Structure 1
Amino acid sequence: MLNRILFKDLTLYDKDIITTYTLHSKYRNCDLSFSNLCSWRFLYHTKFAIINGFLVFKFWLSDNKLAYMQPLGEGNLKELCDILAADAYLEGKPFLMLGICPDMKNQLENRLPGKLVFTCKRDYSDYIYLHEDLVALKGKKYQPKRNHINKFKKEYNYEYVPITSVLFGCSHRFQRFPQVPKCVLNN
């Protein structure tokens, strides 16, 4: 008989337990940043569980696909994958894992030879820019970014202002922007 795993909704109060795994992990992935996890949890209905020494994130993609983030921790990786595959089966979904770093891919291939199919999707890959490149935006590579910035400057009346408690309060209402007619600032 298969048992359901009790995954917990991710909250700000879970930072200590999450960062115990993420900050000490040898894997680097922007999706493992606690800030990113919290920012995207509403869209992906992110949940987590500690399973046999591993931190596991479970989430739902926009097309109702179930996915698990690459696990973090120490233990029997093959056994963990069997547990997660069973959990996916109980959800009526195929087993799908995202955010697999090259080292984790090697571990999975060694422990589960021929059992998994790996697909690299560039849209899900991390990307890194050098600070100097973003400041200057020189060259053909950055032409689309320059075009986007120029279009923004041409179409919008914008200004830089210091962040105050009033502005900070307005930013929290931004999420309800379609229902909020105007955010009025009183200086």
Structure 2
Amino acid sequence: MLDAAARRLIDPPLNRAGRALAARGVGADAVTLAGLALGLAAAAAIAGGAPGWALAPLLASRLLDGLDGAVARATQRTDFGGYLDIWCDFVFYGAVPFAFALLDPANALAAAFLLLTFYVNGTSFLGYAIQAEKRLMATTDQGLKSFYYSRGLLEGTETILFFVLLCLVPQHFVPLATTFGLLCLATAIGRVLRARAILT
């Protein structure tokens, strides 16, 4: 829901930084993998009992997740780069709930529910993208992407804010994860209904 507005704010400075990195020979895939490494470091900090310390690598990871596309636009966009980007995103999004389950076994059921809803929402997103590609549909609402990004109630910006909140108040993981998971299900159902209207 917030991605389009967020992109308008962050794309200009990211594009400048991307051009500067590209001029120094830094590749987009390297930025993507560095972002994943930082995201996994954040998850490790959470699992190790220091969710507050996870904030810096978590936010840096998401910054690099936006920066890799800027580097690609300044050099050469590739299909593999787009594939690697979304794969790393899903690894990161799965690692954080898993880390909270490791942090406290009392979180395990809510973390499992959250991962289920991420899976349901993710398949609604990727399935829509596949069908949109077949129909030559296009959108730039969330910036220039490698494939079709269907809008929803929850998008990347909301998920990042949610992860930040979890790190700030980890003792409230269970109600927060349950609520966010229900909103993920609502997002997925909305995409499925929209797909039924558009793709039939």
Q: TM-score range by the shorter chain?
A: under 0.3
Higher RCO structure, 1 or 2 (CA under 8 Å, sep 6+): 2
Q: TM-score, normalised by structure 2?
A: 0.23
Greater Cα radius of gyration, structure 1 or 2? 1
TM-score after normalising by structure 1 = 0.24
Is the strand fraction higher in 1 or 2? 1
Instruction: Pick the structure with more helix per residue.
Output: 2
